Structure 1
Amino acid sequence: MTDMKATPEEPIACVTVSADAGFLPPVVEFVKQMTRQLGLRDAEHVDQAVELVCMNVVEHAFGPEEEGTLDVQVLRRAGLVVVAVEDQGLPFDYKRLEDGEDRTVLEVLHGSFDETRFVNLGRRGNRVELLKHLPNTDVRDHLPEDEHRRALEATAVPEVIPLEIRMMRPEESFELSRCVYRSYGYSYDWDYIYYPDRIRELQEKGLMISCVAVTPEGEFVGHLAITLDHPDSPVGEAGQAVVDPRFRGHHLFPRMKTFMAEWAGEAGMYGLYSEATAVHPYSQRGNLHLGARETGFLLGYIPASVSYKQIGEEREGRRGSVALFYMRVKDEPEREIYPPAPYLEAIRRVVEHNGLRRVIDEVHDPALQPSRMSVEVRQDHNLAFMRVDEPGADLEELVHGHLRDLCLHHVDCVYVDLPLSHPATPGAAAGLKNLGVFFGGIIPEAHPGGGDVLRLQYLNNIEIQAGDVSTASDFGEELLGLIFRQNTLP
């Protein structure tokens, strides 16, 4: 997400070195010592991955007569240490992976770091980011094992008990983590929330804004957050919803979402987007009741490991899907959008149904720059995002190469984010349907360059049937039908 989302970061160190293998050992040792100084206890595992990335640049990015250089950077982000390697040579050769060479590259990187991101910077070259979470305290190691069981077995609390809905303070992050553990045990889908230090840092940096439901005794029994790509983002994602089992008849979710929508409007934001499970219709109904509307469906987004036993839903090891929703809190600016022809019908229906202030336009033969994009793999969900900043003439080739690599590493689902207000998007993305990439949804005002994100999707031998996906409205059913009709190779 780095190039796309302008993630706040603190530069720690940068070394520029000639692309010569003989110079790499001291650079790798320097990075190892810097990451240890920043708090990584297992920094000894860092050197192998950093050396592997640097050697790839030395061996494959430059020709025999070229005198190239590479920049090795150490950065600090919220809860993370980042090692980035940049060069202006040839991009990573994915053909070698397809032919069976270097099959262990990503395995080594994933074994040493929590996330790996490949960024195509266009004329500025290439960037590989290696991200590692700092070893913060896990609340699950410090709470009684039966706290979750006791909450599940406890008698429901009467609705007459007054609950205060208020903004959460960063220093209250431990109470939030405890509320999550009490409500969900070990099974909450966002592991970050079990680490109070990470949550506090996100709150302090303005990247996570939360409200909580609090009992008269000060106990947290509900939570909802707005997560932001940047502190001044015009839209945010409403999520990390938590309701204590003892208080599930108190209508806390609608009360908290209304509270946060009012806060977002006062903060000058345009709206909130969210992902509601489509394994059942209940969450979608709640969003519709609050005035949110569907903007898409992401098939297979939920890992098969996520259980819905409490509502009687069993998927027998199959991935689940989510519905995308948008809740307007303030009129967004009027914009021109440029839909790629294969996805025009779905885009038009979403724009009309949501009342978005958009004018569908066409551009004939726009000047195309080299593409700029990044690839982020979410190992916990076994899915990947390709985020396109500048769509260019080489976009189809780049997406094809990345899809090939991700499929070789058995990533289940891949999502491609495109700037819908960029005049080059129709020409650059028109051929993606030939790769099996189909419509996913629209996220209004979410692109860092301004305007909407068009999210496309690709399934890697994952079968999702229409009966596996629940809807909660006539439009949801219509939109899902459009998506399933697109989910076929030409």
Structure 2
Amino acid sequence: MEVFLKLPNLVEIIQPAVDFVYRWAVENGLGEKEAEEFATAFDELITDVVLFAFEEKGEFSVFLKSSLSQLEVTVQELGEPFDPERHRYSVERFVREGNFDGAGFEIIRNLADDFIYIYKGRAGKEFRIIKYIKHRHITQMLPEEKLKAEPEKAVGYQISPVSEEDAEDIARLIYRSYGYTYPKEDMYYPDRIVKAVKEG
């Protein structure tokens, strides 16, 4: 499932967008805790975009994509060039200078399973936040009494050579399985099956 949003870089758009991403994440397979982490990482990212990417009014795109194994939110914008590697958060720098530079991206890295930044030149910047869906083990999906229950006994069967008495049942079986599309037409005629059995 894919969702596309085009949003203005306005502070008042941040919370509704974050709420939407949280609900979408829950509906697409994340637990509440993981969805909260996913939405918080998205919150940090678009807050940076809204506050720092544009000198004037602008807009940015949000793409939400889900699969059986992961959720991904991609943010694309045409704001000022920026290299997150040059703005890594440093605890020492914060203690020494009170400088929070890079703290938002550090939070995203800690909350996401993967965080990807792609600079596209004239096509702007792209950020991807990925969160993997944790599936429960089969033993966690069944009640304990079902896990402890004895397996049903296998139905007995007997293998024996085909006899003339089986001819009509064989013709019916072929019809029920293939309709009238079975390539060997003789199998629809009980008398021809009897003849084949006699001839061995």
TM-score (norm 1): 0.25
Does the aligned pair in 2 maintain the 1:15–1:27 contact within 8 Å? no
Aligned to 1:62: 54
Q: Deviations over 1:183-222 (max 9, x none)?
A: xxxxxxxxxxxxxxxxxxxxxxxxxxxxxxxxxxxxxxxx
C-alpha displacement of 1:78 = 5.4
Partner Cα separation in structure 2 for residue 75 and residue 22 of structure 1: 24
- DSSP 3-state at the match of 2:88: helix
- DSSP 3-state at the match of 1:36: helix
The 5 A counterparts of 1:73-472 are 73-77=63-67, 79-94=69-84, 95-97=86-88, 100-138=99-137
C-alpha displacement of 1:133 = 0.7
Which letter does structure 1 place at the counterpart of 2:11?
Answer: A
Does the aligned pair in 1 maintain the 2:60–2:77 contact within 8 Å? yes
- DSSP 3-state at the match of 1:91: coil
- DSSP 3-state at the match of 2:115: strand
Aligned to 1:21: 11
Aligned to 2:145: none
Does the aligned pair in 1 maintain the 2:45–2:105 contact within 8 Å? no
Gap change, CA 1:138 and 1:104, over 3 Å in 2: farther
C-alpha displacement of 1:141 = 8.2
Does the aligned pair in 1 maintain the 2:38–2:131 contact within 8 Å? no
TM-score (norm 2): 0.57
Which letter does structure 2 place at the counterpart of 1:34?
Answer: W
Q: Deviations over 1:132-181 (max 9, x none)?
A: 11121358989xxxxxxxxxxxxxxxxxxxxxxxxxxxxxxxxxxxxxxx
Aligned residue among 19, 25, 28 for 1:35:
25
Higher helix share: 2
Gap change, CA 1:101 and 1:92, over 3 Å in 2: farther
Does the aligned pair in 1 maintain the 2:53–2:79 contact within 8 Å? yes
The 5 A counterparts of 1:44-63 are 44-63=36-55
Partner Cα separation in structure 1 for residue 68 and residue 80 of structure 2: 31
Partner Cα separation in structure 2 for residue 32 and residue 118 of structure 1: 22
Partner Cα separation in structure 2 for residue 28 and residue 17 of structure 1: 12
Moved over 6 A (4+): 139-142
Aligned length: 130
Does the aligned pair in 1 maintain the 2:88–2:106 contact within 8 Å? no
Does the aligned pair in 2 maintain the 1:91–1:125 contact within 8 Å? yes
Partner Cα separation in structure 2 for residue 116 and residue 138 of structure 1: 27
Aligned to 2:188: none
C-alpha displacement of 1:90 = 1.6
Gap change, CA 1:113 and 1:139, over 3 Å in 2: farther
State the identity as a percent: 22
Partner Cα separation in structure 2 for residue 138 and residue 115 of structure 1: 23
Partner Cα separation in structure 2 for residue 91 and residue 78 of structure 1: 34
- DSSP 3-state at the match of 2:19: helix
Gap change, CA 1:24 and 1:89, over 3 Å in 2: same
Partner Cα separation in structure 2 for residue 118 and residue 109 of structure 1: 12
- DSSP 3-state at the match of 1:117: strand
Give unpaired runs (5+ residues) of structure 1.
1-10, 143-490
Does the aligned pair in 1 maintain the 2:18–2:39 contact within 8 Å? yes
C-alpha displacement of 1:44 = 1.9
Does the aligned pair in 2 maintain the 1:109–1:116 contact within 8 Å? yes
- DSSP 3-state at the match of 2:81: coil
C-alpha displacement of 1:43 = 1.0
C-alpha displacement of 1:93 = 4.8
Gap change, CA 1:37 and 1:53, over 3 Å in 2: same
Higher strand share: 1
C-alpha displacement of 1:107 = 3.3
Q: State the structure with bigger RCO (CA 8 A, min sep 6), 1 or 2.
A: 2
Q: What's the RMSD between the two structures over aligned residues?
A: 2.5
Which letter does structure 2 place at the counterpart of 1:92?
Answer: F
Q: Deviations over 1:14-49 (max 9, x none)?
A: 111101111111111011111110010031222221
Partner Cα separation in structure 1 for residue 48 and residue 124 of structure 2: 14
Gap change, CA 1:131 and 1:110, over 3 Å in 2: same
Partner Cα separation in structure 2 for residue 137 and residue 31 of structure 1: 23
